[in-house]
A and B are shown apart, each in its own frame.
Chain A
């Protein structure tokens, strides 16, 4: 049964991408993509249910593997891709209508979009650390052309920076994986198994701590680059700002979680093997650094898409910080925050995309009075910004509160206080700019109006679910989160 499930999750996006590469009619491209995303999302729900029932699923030879953590993240990533796919339909139709995109670019987008989803699912299901690496590098390669979709100077610059920096990072991560394999070979008899995460975790106590510490440093730098952890975050603002809206949204809600997933897997392994506070200290330092380094850039920002990218860096920092606290409550907070952050990022990026289409500008001071021009998108954008900065009653407030409580409970007083300070400081910056954009007199010369009704409904659903998550977590989700926390603790 696991084989069937894994095959669907992997083959459907792959097949869709091949189809989109060959197909030329836009209607078919759209349908293929959102149907493929829907099937993937449905399969993820099935996967989550299966994992709740069987605890772990493996393919023969142990190359692919799923447990509660994979299930949770698969839900988040495939859900994000479904939302983005649905949004893209309206988005690209509008662009085509206004002749701002060629049909070739549209076709390229849909084909690469499905490749992107495929690579992400590949990483999530990989048990073999080598596969994990290959998949992560593949996500970089797959998204490069998406970032550079519009053939502009700045897009090329952003995409170039993105590929180079992420490839360097991932290369360092490969060294870390080699070191892990090296330490495993002494312990695990068969070399075919020595790269499998599930096997490694079971023998973690026998692995050489010194080697794993060194390996972990490389892996943290490598996958941290992919996640956008400071100080390796420099590619993020450029890439998110220059990429088309659906791409930025999926990167912020999907790709980030892939990198975090890899970090989590290694966190579990190395923490088990090394013990003590080595891993935690590193995570807390990098997490707080990411949150703090963002402050000057947020307070003095001209471009609202870059602003959102910095928000993404901040939230990656929050999740990593929570993983560093390393208590069950903190893990729960981290995973909850991951879910909420994905929803909020989708909301905020996609509504900003609508504003961008209406105003034809990414510069903050050129956008004003959005509430009048594009009322729905503006409201949703403002709601999203409040959510993203951790304002109650939205879901992120709950998760951040959980994290801070866990921090104080475990005795990390200074660190948690720094956390609160950073979140508050950033709140001011985000809300100020959001307010300036939404309120005030209208400045656009001409506007192409509001997005279509399906998109509005989609975004409203997102906003509502954020609200809901702030008050009540649905029972199946809560169960999944608990099981995922257990994975951390096994």
Chain B
């Protein structure tokens, strides 16, 4: 790898670390607007990684995915989320099932677990290892943290953000091990994610109309 590829690899490492930090900040935050902004920032870093991979390693099909990320996840979805949280007169504070301190510690542990999941995959790479593979543990950690956010927070909007964080982690891991899937598959995945967000958004409107709030506490009537 020449010096150019080295710097690109460095920048990708830094960006991946920043993405992970935004995930942690989401876990530690109490404000809904902050959540949405952090998610937007996270997606921006992700698009930056994709752009670096596309331009730096010459994988042009990722360019489409990078642009889609910016359009859909950095711009469109936060706009949708903000519209929803404004229209639903929801208290902008998050309720927790697991408090911040413990959540952060658990997420720290998840990063370590993610590393052990990633090791067998990384060691199975024969031939030329991709310079971007080093972000695989971070991406798996993102998937787990996204899942954790969905479980440990009570508002419907946060579940959506947790799901989107998971999807971001998935996209990053796809980049890490295979430079992303074939273009048509990536486009299809993006379309699905966008549809899922819109559908969940519509649902939040309807839930708000019938329930008093969109806290997950109220969605407990169906038991066994």
Contact = CB atoms under 8 A, between A and B. Distances in A.
Classify A-B as touching or not with yes or no (CB < 8 A): yes
Contact of B181 (A144, A145, A181, A210): A181
Q: What does DSSP make chain B's interface, helix, strand, loop or mixed? A: helix
Interface stretch (A132-140, A254-262, A317-325): A132-140
B163 A168 contact: yes
A268 interface: no
B182 A131 contact: no
Contacts of B49: none
Given A167-B163, A168-B163, A171-B167, A141 B196 contact: yes
Measured as residues with beta carbon below 8 angstroms from the partner, the interface class of chain B is: 35 or more
A409 interface: no
Contact of A164 (B150, B178, B191, B211): B150
Contacts, number: 118
B149 to A, nearest CB: 11
Nearest to B180: A178
A408 interface: no
Interface stretch (B65-73, B80-88, B102-110, B199-207): B199-207
B174 interface: yes
B206 A214 contact: no
A210 B196 CA distance: 32
B192 A156 contact: no
B163 A161 contact: no
B195 interface: yes
Interface in A155-175: 156-161, 163-164, 167-168, 171-172, 174-175
Contacts of B54: none
A479 interface: no
Q: What does DSSP make chain A's interface, helix, strand, loop or mixed? A: helix
Interface string B32-51: 00000000000000000000
Measured as residues with beta carbon below 8 angstroms from the partner, the interface class of chain A is: 35 or more
Interface in B171-213: 173-174, 177-178, 181-182, 184-185, 188-189, 191-192, 195-196, 199-200, 203, 206-207, 210-211
A183 B167 CA distance: 21
Contacts of A175: 143, 170, 173
B103 to A, nearest CB: 18
B222 A157 contact: yes
Contact of A182 (B121, B163, B189): B121
A168 B210 contact: no
Interface stretch (A185-193, A223-231, A334-342): A185-193
Interface stretch (A18-26, A71-79, A146-154, A280-288): A146-154
B182 A148 contact: no
Contacts of A450: none
Nearest to A172: B143
A283 B70 CA distance: 40
Contacts of B126: 186
Given A163-B203, A211-B121, A181 B210 contact: no
B127 A186 contact: yes
Contacts of A137: 192, 196
Interface in A280-310: 297, 300-301
Contacts of A161: 219, 222
Given A134-B188, A152-B210, A238-B222, A183 B163 contact: no
Contacts of A200: none
Given A130-B182, A175-B173, A164 B159 contact: yes
A178 B170 contact: yes
Given A175-B170, A210-B124, A168 B189 contact: no
Q: Kindly list the 10 A-B residue pairs having the minimum CB-CB distance in the complex, ordered from nearest.
A: A130-B185, A134-B188, A137-B192, A157-B219, A182-B177, A238-B222, A182-B178, A178-B174, A141-B195, A153-B210
19 contacts: A145-B199, A148-B206, A152-B210, A153-B211, A153-B221, A156-B203, A156-B206, A157-B219, A159-B203, A160-B219, A163-B203, A164-B200, A175-B143, A178-B174, A179-B121, A181-B181, A183-B124, A297-B224, A300-B224
Interface of B: 117, 120-121, 124, 126-127, 143, 147, 150, 156, 159, 163, 166-167, 170, 173-174, 177-178, 181-182, 184-185, 188-189, 191-192, 195-196, 199-200, 203, 206-207, 210-211, 219, 221-222, 224
Given A178-B178, A179-B177, 20 more contacts: A130-B184, A130-B188, A133-B189, A134-B192, A138-B195, A141-B195, A157-B221, A164-B159, A168-B147, A168-B150, A171-B143, A171-B163, A178-B177, A181-B181, A182-B178, A186-B126, A195-B181, A195-B182, A211-B120, A237-B224
Interface of A: 128, 130-131, 133-134, 137-138, 141, 144-145, 148, 151-154, 156-161, 163-164, 167-168, 171-172, 174-175, 178-179, 181-183, 185-186, 191-192, 195, 208, 210-211, 214, 237-238, 241, 297, 300-301
